[in-house]
């Protein structure tokens, strides 16, 4: 494996974010959900309008992991009003750490998480938080290994199905 570079993303990276987002979400969740639910979610969540709006939001921060000139993952962070739930000014939400299946086990997720940690510290945040599907055992193990603890849950709707996300947080020193 060649080295992975993490770069801040902007509006010029719109298509890259859409493509990585669609690919990684499908790789991770397609076999657990209906084809119709997946199609609708991918169309809505990675539409040009939605991703463009997110990239232009000053309270959202995107980073892309590159292996040479190939994007292999990305990170989306939210502060202030951009947070999906807590809206706590002292917190930074990790909304997404998405890594292509081809790069699982190659520390790309860890590099993206390290970027989240650095961003939180640069923004003087007290803690990081996120929601992760209770059945995504790989992600749960990753976050626990990095010091996150559960503090609640919320419902994530995909198609006609309600799924439970565990809410996790990590207090920063």
Nearest to 165 by CA among 116, 128, 130: 130
Q: How far apart are CA 36 and CA 34, in angstroms?
A: 5
- Which residues are 171's β-sheet partners? 127
- Distance from chain centroid for Cα 140: 13
Q: Parse the chain into domains and list their residue ranges.
A: 4-127
pLDDT tens digits in sequence order for the chain, 173 residues long: 579 999 999 999 999 999 999 999 999 888 888 899 899 999 999 999 999 999 999 999 999 999 999 999 999 999 999 999 999 999 999 999 999 999 999 999 999 999 999 999 999 999 999 999 999 999 999 999 999 999 999 998 888 889 999 999 999 98
pTM of the model: 0.94
Q: CA 116 from chain center: how many Å?
A: 10
Q: Which CATH superfamily is domain 4-127 in?
A: Gcn5-related N-acetyltransferase (GNAT) (3.40.630.30)
What are residue 65's DSSP bridge partners?
Answer: 6, 73
- Helix (H) / strand (E) element for 118: namely helix 108-122
Position 71 scores a pLDDT of 98
Structure-token pair, residue 116: 């989240």
CA distance 113 to 54: 19
pLDDT at 63: 98
pLDDT value of residue 4: 97
Give catalytic residue positions.
143
95 near 89, Cβ under 8 Å? no
């Amino acid at each position: 494996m060649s080295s992975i570079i993490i770069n801040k993303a902007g509006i010029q990276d719109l298509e890259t974010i859409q493509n990585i987002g669609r690919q990684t979400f499908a790789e991770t969740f397609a076999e657990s959900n209906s084809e119709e639910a997946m199609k609708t979610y991918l169309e809505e969540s990675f539409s040009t309008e939605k991703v463009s709006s997110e990239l232009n939001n000053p309270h959202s921060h995107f980073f892309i992991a590159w292996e040479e000139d190939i994007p292999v993952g990305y990170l989306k962070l939210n502060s202030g009003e951009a947070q999906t739930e807590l809206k706590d000014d002292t917190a930074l939400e990790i909304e997404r750490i998405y890594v292509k299946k081809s790069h699982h086990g190659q520390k790309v997720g860890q590099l993206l998480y390290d970027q989240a940690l650095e961003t939180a510290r640069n923004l003087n945040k007290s803690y990081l938080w996120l929601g992760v599907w209770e059945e995504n055992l790989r992600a749960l193990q990753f976050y626990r290994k990095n010091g996150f603890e559960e503090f609640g849950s919320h419902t994530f709707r995909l198609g006609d199905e309600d799924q439970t996300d565990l809410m996790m947080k990590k207090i920063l020193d």
